[in-house]
Amino acid sequence: MDYLFDTNHASKILEGNESLSLRVDALKNSGSRFSISVSVLGELFFAVYASKRKEKNLLQLKGFLEDVILWEYDVIAAEEFGKIQAEQKAKGKPIPSIDAQIAAVARIHNLTVLSTDQHFRLLDGLNVEDWLQIP
């Protein structure tokens, strides 16, 4: 299975969340692939440059990028974004634009989104899991 980290899950990996890291490593060893979208990368860069330890956090982020696939936000993703936003408007349940961009990348590449954000679950045709939720 292939996964797309939302910012909340990617941030926890960067913070060194042991249980999440162990789960990811185990699944990588069994063939699963993990990725982020350029939209998530932008949010991660924002967190780095807003932090007090910019240099350390930037090195950590660059190391993280070596271990994940980076999905571009291209014309196909932009069209899917438009579909998602129109679907959600018709339902009366809009979601934040950046999350619609993340969802668009996940839908076109058939990726499972790893996120604590519940609004991803409102979208049709999107698999979502929360690995940070306490059972």
pLDDT at 44 over 80: yes
d(CA 75, CA 58): 29
**pLDDT at residue 135 in the model:** 59
- Find how far residue 8's CA is from the centre of its chain: 8
Q: Looking at the whole model, is its pTM more than 0.85?
A: yes
End-to-end CA distance of the chain: 22
Q: How much is the average pLDDT of 55-76?
A: 96
Which of 5, 10, 2, 4 is CA-nearest to residue 32? 2
* Predicted pLDDT at 133: 86
Domain 2-129 has CATH 3.40.50.300: no
Q: Is 67 helix (H, G, I), strand (E, B) or coil?
A: coil
Q: Which two tokens stand for residue 7?
A: 């910012």
Side-chain-side CA neighbours of residue 49 (13 Å): 6
Give long-range contacts, CB 8 A cutoff, 24+ apart: 81-86.
84/123
Token pair listed for 117: 């954000």
- 81-107 pLDDT, tens digit per residue, is 999 999 999 999 999 999 999 999 999
pLDDT surpasses 90 at 134? no
* Residues in a beta bridge with 35: 4, 69
User: Token pair of 128, please?
Assistant: 């979502």
Judged against a pLDDT cut of 70, whether residue 80 lies above it is answered with: yes
- Residue 91: alpha-carbon gap to chain centroid: 23
CB 5 within 8 A of CB 23: no
Q: What is the mean pLDDT of residues 40-52?
A: 97
